[in-house]
Amino acid sequence: MIPNGYLLFEDESLLDSTVAKMNALRKSGQFCDVRLQVCGHELMAHRAVLACCSPYLFEIFNSDIEPHGVSHVTFDDLDPEAVEILLNYAYTAQLKADKELVKDVYTAAKRLKMERVKQICGNYLLSKMESHSAISFRNFSSCMGDGRMLSKIDIYIQEHLLEVSEQEDFFKLPRLKLEVMLEDSLSLPSNGKLYSKVLNWVQRRLWENGDQLDRLMEEVQTLYYSADHKLLDGALIIEEHGMFGVGAEEDHMQLVQKKPPRENSNTKRQPSSSTSGSSSPSGLASNTPKPCRREWKYIASEKTTNNTYLCLAVLDGVLCVIFLHGRNSPQSSPSATPCLMKSLSFEAQSEELEEHPLTSMHYARSGLGTATLHGRLIAAGGYNREECLRTVECYDPKEDLWTFTAPMRTARARFQMAVLMGQLYVMGGSNGHSDELSCGETYDPHTDTWAQVAELRTNRCNAGVCSLNNKLFVVGGSDPCGQKGLKNCDAFDPVTKTWNNCAPLNIKRHQAAVCELDGFMYVIGGAESWNCLNTVERYNPENNTWTLIAPMNVARRGAGVAVYNGKLLVVGGFDGSHALRCVEVYDPVRNTWRMLGSMTVARSNAGVAALGDVICAVGGFDGNNFLNTLEVYDPETDEWSDLLLIVFCDFLYVSGRDGNHFWRVA
């Protein structure tokens, strides 16, 4: 067109051609007048192009003493691949990065003040956030000082706190444990108001009393919720007001007694800076005075049980978990009532029937190890939201009673347990504070003691454990390097006390269900990275080979497995979105899977074992709560039940499944 006598022509192809040619010139080093030194890598570019895209580099180039020479800019803390991605973007307007590099690209874009790229990377990270990554994403956003991302992540955590609290990163956070004494007429306020009071109390302890945050977390802190709705130190109440006075029970007084004064406790601590600096060995805030305040923020909380709360908060710049329990009086241990399992048949005279829940474990446990030993169910370790456990409980089905045995030497969760030559074996796992474990131990039921065994060759948790041909096999898992899914398979010989490598799995797996059946080892489901699997592999020890067999109907990780009547029952687990109730069974003769009756509640990372003629599922996580409950599956009725049938009568005759025995009930 020639409007008003002027020639006007827009060549759209020229722009694309020019951009492509300039990028080619950059990559070949032609006409380049900028050298970026990035962690030992040299990247060439053109000053004019970079100055248009990066305000940070514009300021550097604008201040060059010799503007016509070659500019040298050094970055010792950026990823060379991320900077190369930004250079491609500067020349082509296309941002292309592998998902593993997005955080590094974000970091480089922040340094170069490329706000548009930073925002695009932030939006991508937010779109990929799930419960397992929320804590790491928040830590990253906090380090970057990105308030927009932090607010969106905090909203996500508020909506998914219970799911987030089941993840590994959550268990590595520092923990503050509080117990709040209440008068009979009082109850704790709503979550938000409650934790604003908690934050104020911690601030007073740090700034007025000179306490240190890491020392506050060393033991349970006892507080008192007064009638005027203030949260006070329990020791001060006793000392100054004699609040509990004469008649308080001895163990009650032990909880609220005044703690000994700490060194420099009279020195007021000044608020510390949000800038990075030295930290205490535990990763908590240093008590070195700083010129400005760190962040104090309540993020999210949930009431988990009656008068028990879980909270995620930022205390003095440190992301922390707060556990709070309110109580009116010292807890008493409930006495167990002998009951009879519903699966028993009975004949009674003048009977009255009443159903009661099966007795629960003393501790809620998820990611526990379970096995059957001498006709009893063993539940070891696991985590209960608050901590990883060492304790071991033993269930007697005849008495419907849980009792404690000797605790493990190491607190651990996310592990499996197997019986080998009459002893229990546990290997690896995580203790909630450090990386995956390599240590293992074995339990001798005759001496009620645990002893160490030779360490694994690879530190790992979420591995499968199985006894086969008088050896202990450890399969798959995840390692400290971040591999969520390993192919490793190792065998332990209890006679020579040595480990040997076996053929690797066909597919990387962690949180798989593993067990032995008819001389083969089965590895079922699990996850590769965070993608849940329905595939199943079978190991033949005769020729040291793995074979893929028929897949399950439902992809799942964190499921339990037990053997019944020559078949495999796979129970519960997690499908990537929800904890599962569903159960399916594998028939090795037909190489087929079919669905069975579902559990009464959803359970992921539960313990599953065969006990007599029933299958037991205990503990786990239902998507909202950590569980201490037990339920049993009767293959004859294809039903799960968490109930006992108690019969009150003058005389009761009960026929058990393992023979005819009679009890007289007075």
What are 38-52's pLDDT values in tens digits? Answer: 988 989 899 889 989
Check whether residue 252 and residue 345 sit in a common domain. no
358 by Cβ neighbours in 10 Å (0-12 / 13-18 / 19+) ranks as: buried
Residues 476 and 353 in one domain: no
Rounded distance between C-alpha atoms, residue 71 and residue 49, angstroms? 13
Q: Is residue 2 part of a domain?
A: no
Q: Is residue 7 part of a domain?
A: no
With 70 as the cut, is the pLDDT of residue 463 above it?
yes
- Which alpha helices (DSSP H) does 414-561 contain, by range? none
Let me know whether 577 and 648 are in one domain.
no
Same domain, 199 and 53: no
- The helix (run of H) or strand (run of E) holding residue 452 is strand 449-453
pLDDT in tens, 589-615: 999 999 999 999 999 999 999 998 899
Residue 191 has pLDDT above 80, yes or no: no
Is residue 552 a contact partner of residue 536, using CB atoms and an 8 Å limit? yes
Higher confidence at residue 65 or residue 627? 627
Do residues 573 and 662 both lie within one domain? no
Structure tokens at 611: 């006990």
Residue 549 has a pLDDT of 97
Determine the Cα–Cα distance for residues 56 and 51; give it in Å rounded to an integer: 8
* Mean pLDDT for the chain overall: 81
> Residue 60: what residue type?
I
Q: Which amino acid is at 579?
A: A
Give the pLDDT band (50/70/90) at residue 251.
very low
Tokens, residue 235: 């020791």
Residue 437 belongs to domain spanning: 359-641
pLDDT tens figures, 420-458? 999 999 999 998 876 689 999 999 999 999 999 999 988
Average pLDDT for 466-488:
91
Task: Work out whether strand 527-528 and strand 417-420 pair parallel, antiparallel, or are unpaired.
Answer: unpaired
Other Cβ atoms closer than 10 A to 529: 11
Same domain, 116 and 56: yes
The DSSP string of 360-395 is: PPSS--BS-EEEEETTEEEEE--B-SS-B---EEEE
CATH of residue 633: 2.120.10.80
Provide the pairing of β-strand 318-327 with 175-182.
Answer: parallel
**At 201, is the pLDDT very low, low, confident or very high (cuts 50, 70, 90)?**
confident
C-alpha triplet 188, 193, 196: angle, nearest 5°: 115
Q: pLDDT per residue over 553-591, tens digit each?
A: 999 999 999 999 999 999 999 998 899 999 999 999 999
- pLDDT category, 275, cuts 50, 70, 90? very low
Same domain, 595 and 635: yes
Buried b / exposed e across 549-563, counting CB within 10 Å, b at 16+? beebebbbbbbbbbb
For residue 324, report the phi and psi dihedrals to the nearest 5 degrees.
-130, 130
Has residue 341 got a pLDDT over 50?
no
Rg of the Cα atoms in the chain: 31
Among the candidates 307, 327, 347, a domain finishes at 327
Comparing 611 with 263, the larger pLDDT belongs to 611
Q: Give the CA count within 13 Å in the CB-facing half-sphere of 57.
A: 28
Residue 594 counted as domain residue: yes
70 neighbors 34 (Cβ within 8 angstroms): yes
280 alpha-carbon distance from chain centroid: 24
Q: Which residues pair with 475 in a beta bridge?
A: 464, 489
**CA dihedral for 162, 167, 172, 173, sign (positive or negative):** negative
Cα–Cα dist 586/590, whole Å: 9
- Report whether 176 contacts 322 (CB < 8 A): yes
Do 193 and 101 lie in a common domain?
no
Mean pLDDT (whole number) for 333-349 = 33
Do 343 and 307 share a structural domain?
no
Judgement on whether residues 657 and 558 belong to the same structural domain of the protein: no
The string of pLDDT tens digits covering residues 218-233 is: 888 888 877 777 778 7
Half-sphere exposure of 483 (CA within 13 A, CB side): 16
The two tokens of residue 265 are 């406790």
In a domain, 444, yes or no: yes
CATH of the domain at 115: 3.30.710.10
Number of domains within the chain = 4
Which band of pLDDT confidence, cut at 50, 70 and 90, is reported for residue 481? confident
* Confidence label for 280 from pLDDT (cuts 50, 70 and 90): very low
Whether 428 is covered by a domain: the verdict is yes
Please tell me whether residues 405 and 452 are part of one structural domain: yes
List the Cα angle 659/665/666 in 5-degree steps.
160
- For the ranges 2-16, 330-344, 402-416, the maximum mean pLDDT occurs at 402-416
% of residues, the chain, pLDDT over 90: 52
Strand 464-468 relative to strand 449-453, pairing? unpaired
Which of 665, 662, 660, 656 has the alpha carbon at shortest distance from 397? Answer: 656
Among 331, 445, 343, 353, smallest CA distance to 400 is for: 343
**Is the CB of residue 117 less than 8 Å from the CB of residue 86?**
yes
pLDDT band at 352, cuts 50/70/90? very low
Residue 145, domain member (yes or no): no
Taking the C-alpha atoms of residue 443 and residue 425, their distance in angstroms, rounded to an integer, is: 7
Tell me, yes or no, whether 149 lies in a domain.
Answer: no
Average pLDDT (251-280) is 35
CA 418 from centroid of its chain's CA atoms? 23
| Residues 300/238, Cβ–Cβ less than 8 Å | no
Quote the pTM value: 0.66
Buried b (16+ CB within 10 A) or exposed e, 29-67: eeebbbebebeeeebbbbbebbbebbebbbebbeeeeee
**Would you say residue 289 has pLDDT above 80?**
no
Which of 325, 333, 363, 331 shows the shortest CA–CA distance to 222? 325
Q: Are 432 and 571 within one domain?
A: yes
Domain end call among 71, 106, 128 = 128
- pLDDT surpassing 80 at residue 344: no
Last residue of a domain, one of 128, 160, 189: 128
At residue 385, the pLDDT reads 80
Structural element, H or E, at residue 398: none
CA distance 507 to 509: 6
**What confidence category does residue 18 fall into, taking pLDDT thresholds of 50, 70 and 90?**
confident
- Give domain status of residue 665, yes or no: yes
Residues 6 or more apart whose Cβ sits within 8 Å of residue 131: 160, 163, 164, 166, 167
Helices assigned H by DSSP within 68-114: 80-92, 102-111
